[in-house]
Amino acid sequence: MPEIKIQCPAKINLTLKVTGRRADGFHDIESIMQTISLYDYLNISAEPADSFKINLSGNSDEIPYDETNLVYKAAKLFFYNIHSFMDYEININIEKNIPIAAGLAGGSTDGAGTLYGLNKLLNEPLTKEQLHKLCAELGSDLNVCLEGGTLLAKGRGEIIEPVEYKEQTVSLIKPNNLGISAKEAYTKFSNKLALGGEGRSDFVNDLEWAIIVDYPQLQTIKKLYPKSVMSGSGSTYYILGDTFNPISAYQIFNNLKTIPHGVREVLFC
């Protein structure tokens, strides 16, 4: 049975400015995003079958293994676009190492990795440009995770252009049992902006400005590490060129690195 293993990196937002509200309900942003050396892994196999089927499994009890998972949606979209639903049973095992609902694009990178991995496994029926179009259709951060490195992302995050890459040490800290959805963060941003923009310019990340007042756990991080910055919609903070000391009830990843690539193959058998 052909099988491929895909390494799927997390991302951080070096900057994040919300530039407007879109007609589709999303927000336009300008954000410099950077992939880092914290990875999920996908083991993907495909075998001939009488009917098309996608089977998901994994090591996390925090994510669904059904059609609501972005990996499932990515696999289905991929086969729809190569006009083949009848010949394969797809098995994808998701090894989760990136925290869930943490502002690190854990779901998005797995979705991008699925598209990339299936394309490799089936001898690249789609071009890189076509993969990027599918990424944009699926979500906001998939294009960044597919391409990787340092990127300026605009629109919903799907319009990307390269920025000069610099290797740096990155450390992460996240409160245990605290996940913040993008919907919550952007809603609070809109509500707070309607009351005025006081203090917004003090933050690198507009969403941090919008939500920090509601979460004592985030205020604790900021008090202890004033130079730390929230990634995406949170609840993870990062610091460049430094490390975090252990804190009870917080998850810490010290001494990670920025990386110049996105999702990629690590094993083919």
Residues designated as active site: 11, 141
* 95 burial level (CB within 10 Å; 0-12, 13-18, 19+): middle
User: Who's near 18: CB < 8 A, 6+ residues apart?
Assistant: 27, 28, 29, 186, 189, 206, 207
- Cβ atoms of 145 and 40 closer than 8 Å: no
DSSP secondary-structure letter at 226?
T
Strands 3-13 and 27-48: antiparallel
> Nearest to residue 163, comparing CAs of 172, 153, 155?
153
CB 117, CB 134: distance < 8 Å: no
Residue 9 CA, chain-centre distance (Å), reads 8
Alpha helices in 29-164 (DSSP H): 70-81, 106-121, 128-138, 142-147
Which of 40, 38, 46 lies closest to 4, judged by CA? 46
Q: What is the DSSP letter of 246?
A: P
Contact 92, 54 (CB under 8 A): yes
Q: Cβ contacts of residue 61 below 8 Å, gap of 6+? A: none
